[in-house]
Chain A
Amino acid sequence: MAVEETDVIHQVLRGNVDSFRVLVERYQRPIIRIIKNITNDGNIAEDIAQDVFLTAYKKLTAFDPARSNFSTWLFTITRNKSLNALKKKRPVSMSQLPDKTDGRDPYSDLSEKEFFDKLDRILLTLPDRQKTAFVLAELEELSHAQIAQIEGARIGTIKSRVSRAKEKLRAALESLDGDI
């Protein structure tokens, strides 16, 4: 698959614009998913994703296969654009976080959607580095080594960020439901 991808990239660089569609179709879903989960905004995810692909096309000559996989390079652009979009949005205040409940079953008070929305908001309030590491590790299931390249950090640092993010989500789950 990696060889085929390199061939596609060479074709695009030789002027075969249509070949770029292969890359778009291969990565459109993970790209949109990463953006959606980092920004927690499905409405802007496709716009940002289009920007990611256009940037990738413009800068394709700068992609060096000796330094990273194409996916790692593309996910790095995605991560950066998602965080930029997030900075432009209104910051999430602590008042938007779910209130601590009195230990009742969350499903007696909240619909599944409401409960998940609260978890989404907790994810949104995580520090950027923890959030991106968590999204890439837990939701995209990328290796820690690949995330380390995307984030420009050590593998140990990434493990620690993912672990801290999970702890916060776990703590938030506990504060939400008491003992489900």
Chain B
Amino acid sequence: MSRQEVYDAWRERSRQVDMAESFADQVMNHVYEYQKDRSKQFLRFRWLVDVVSEHPLAQASLVVIGTVTGLIRVAFVICMFLRT
């Protein structure tokens, strides 16, 4: 057997693939699971948006939280400035 024949036989063997017949099904199951999780996350976010847009109290709470956070940030910057 020539060197080239040995190499060709090895190359041909390396090109063979043994794989589960259900491989594509397994991949698609993972994809469906991922898609389901993503949909759940989107629904959760959508629910939050709906709650905020439908309830004035939720809107007011959001504004208060935003204002307080902003004030804390401003106070922090002023403190930093005064220290230097």
Contact = CB atoms under 8 A, between A and B. Distances in A.
Interface stretch (B11-19, B53-61, B63-71, B74-82): B11-19
Interface residues of B, number: 25
Interface in A32-79: 32-33, 36-37, 42, 46, 49-50, 53-54, 57-58
Nearest to B38: A58
Interface in A104-140: 106-107, 112, 115-116, 119-120, 138-139
Interface string B1-35: 11100110111011101111001101110111011
Given A28-B23, A49-B23, A139-B14, A177 B31 contact: no
Contacts, number: 76
Instruction: Classify the secondary structure of B's interface with A.
Output: helix
A112 B9 CA distance: 9
Size bracket, chain A contacts? 35 or more
A54 B35 contact: no
A115 B6 CA distance: 9
A24 B13 contact: no
A21 interface: yes
Interface of A: 17-18, 20-21, 24-25, 28-29, 32-33, 36-37, 42, 46, 49-50, 53-54, 57-58, 106-107, 112, 115-116, 119-120, 138-139, 169-170, 173-174, 177, 180
Interface of B: 1-3, 6-7, 9-11, 13-15, 17-20, 23-24, 26-28, 30-32, 34-35
15 contacts: A17-B32, A24-B28, A29-B17, A50-B23, A50-B30, A53-B27, A53-B31, A54-B27, A115-B6, A116-B10, A169-B7, A170-B3, A174-B3, A177-B6, A180-B1
